[in-house]
Amino acid sequence: MSIPVPLPRVAAFEKLGFGLFVHWGLYSQLGKGEWAQNIHRIPAREYEKLQSTFTACDFDAEDLARTARDAGMKYIVLTSRHHDGFSLYDTCGLNTYDAPHSPAGRDLVSEYVAACRKYGIVPFFYHTTIDWHWEYRTTAELSQEDFSRYLDYLHDSVKLLCTNYGPIGGLWFDGNWARRQDDWREDRLYGMIRRYQPEAIIINNTGLGNLGRLGHPEIDSVTYEQGSGEPLDREGHAKYMAAEVCRTMNSHWGLGGNDLNFLSPAEVIRLLARCRGCGANLLLNIGPEAQGKVPEYEKQLLRKTGVWCRLYEEAVYGPRPAAGIVCRQGDLMLREGSDFYYFASGLGRCGDSNVTVGANGIGSRAVDNFTEKVTSVRWLDNGEELDFVQDPAKGMLSIFCTGFPYGTDTVVRVAKIETKA
């Protein structure tokens, strides 16, 4: 048994590390989440009236791309079409249920792609595979004959995304779980994508109940919806698969007007560290407001996360999990070449006892199965050299982790371990 070598596009995707998911569409005007039409049983003809009030007057694609860049994110996945069937792109005559035929009057995907390229962000498209609006029926309700016609419509829709916007990072599909026993003609769909976008990453979400499940052979990454990721066992697989954790900041993928249950910056940093520690990307979602504005809390949270990403940039994107090495305290170890990166959690702060709390966590931390000869250990954020002892023959390494300087707490602190190559 052996582990397959990742294709270049898959290896490049893994190095992106951190991405922004954006769920925005007609449902945002209701402020009840992206499944509002389905969950609140709104008839399709009634729901489609939201198109007449969709102005996108607050959508600033450049602000969105800058927000992602400043957060340390390397890619964005935008909902070009969600399950309600409304498209943010020009459907070029397939229907008129799209942004150009709304009061917005423009192709929002085109603006998004241009902004991503300007700010060095890789653009991905989310695209539903189901539709609650096509011929005013849900995909699950269609007869086999009508389902076949619908798949032609889906194929033609995705072809527009592959041919009208230049090179893209990938396509993120969602919805096959609605008709699990049916033939979705994935060979045809993915084959078309490979013809027009040969380097695009293809993902098809397996849903909440199938975390990490393998799918069609042409898919490049498994998904962990609302999970935290697990190390993938790739032994004996025909193809090397990447892994991606997609998570909401609160309880909804789209705008939830009365949803106040948000993650904190510290929680996002811990989540990102854990994802990278198990070799997965983190795709973190925001739900823009009705007409496209990025909510202020989400923007500020992302800004704080970006500070952490810049402090530890060389450890966050390129390095991969250090196979076989065990950090006893539940910390994480990544590796790139002869360099290792130790992600330490739960560190205390240094300073006068009258003004510091949580001083525990300072001290030695043990690592097992570390057989490389260490030459130096230092914090990446300030270059402070750390004491260590090791016995390479026994695979034992102990690092003395000093506390945060007073006025500093990066939640997860990263030390670079250099070894004799």
pTM: 0.95
Q: Do domains 8-311 and 320-419 have the same CATH topology?
A: no
- Split the chain (421 residues) into runs of 10 and give each run's mean pLDDT: 89 98 98 97 97 98 98 98 98 98 98 98 98 96 97 98 98 94 96 98 78 79 83 83 95 95 97 96 98 97 98 97 91 97 92 63 93 97 97 96 92 96 70
- Shortest CA distance to 135 belongs to which of 119, 149, 121? 149
44 near 92, Cβ under 8 Å? no
pLDDT on residue 214: 76
- Architecture of the 8-311 domain: Alpha-Beta Barrel (3.20)
Contact 18, 122 (CB under 8 A): no
Rg (CA), the chain: 23
Distance from the Cα of residue 158 to its chain's centroid: 21
Dist CA 421 CA 416 (whole Å): 15
Distance CA 33, CA 42 (A): 13
Write the DSSP string, 156-203: HHHHHHHHSS-S-SEEEEE-GGGGTTS---HHHHHHHHHHH-TT-EEE
CB atoms within 10 A of CB 70: 17
Are 193 and 158 contacting, i.e. CB atoms less than 8 angstroms apart? yes
What is the reported pLDDT for 360? 66
Token pair recorded at residue 297 = 């809390």
Domain boundaries, the chain: 8-311, 320-419
Please, are residues 319 and 333 in contact by the beta-carbon 8 Å criterion?
Answer: no
Of 292, 220, 214, 280, nearest to 247 by C-alpha is 280
Angle at 105 between CA 302 and CA 68, to 5 degrees: 15
Q: Which of 168, 163, 178, 157 is nearest to 202 (CA)?
A: 168
Euclidean distance between CA atoms 317 and 70, whole angstroms: 15
Residues 6 or more apart in contact with residue 125 via CB below 8 angstroms: 77, 78, 80, 109, 161, 168, 170, 171, 172
Beta strand 332-336 pairing with 339-345? antiparallel
User: Which pLDDT score is estimated for 189?
Assistant: 98
- Long-range interactions of 319-324: CB distance < 8 A, separation 24+: 319/276, 320/14, 320/279, 321/231, 321/277, 321/278, 321/279, 324/369
Other CB atoms closer than 10 Å to residue 227's CB: what's the count?
A: 16
Mapped onto helix, strand or coil, the DSSP state of residue 67 is: helix
Single-letter residue type at 15: K
pLDDT score recorded for residue 353: 67
Q: Which helix (H) or strand (E) holds 315?
A: helix 313-316
Pairing of strands 412-419, 339-345: antiparallel
In single-letter form, the type of residue at position 20 comes to: L
Q: How far is CA 179 from the centre of its chain?
A: 25
Q: Which of 18, 21, 52 minimizes the C-alpha distance to 34?
A: 21
* CATH classification (class only), 320-419: mainly beta
Task: Give the model's pLDDT for residue 8.
Answer: 97
Q: Which two tokens stand for residue 352?
A: 């006068």
User: Over the stretch 355-400, which tens digit does the pLDDT of each residue have?
Assistant: 666 556 789 999 999 999 999 999 999 999 999 999 999 999 999 9
3 state SS of 326: strand
Distance CA 288, CA 295 (A): 6
Token pair, residue 213, equals 């499940």
The reported pLDDT for the residue numbered 227 is 82
C-alpha 399/C-alpha 416 separation (Å) is 11
Q: What token pair was written down for 245? A: 């954790």
Q: Please give the pLDDT value at position 207.
A: 59
| Phi/psi of residue 419, nearest 5 degrees | -125, 165
Q: What one-character DSSP code corresponds to residue 133?
A: S
- The confidence score (pLDDT) of residue 370 equals 97
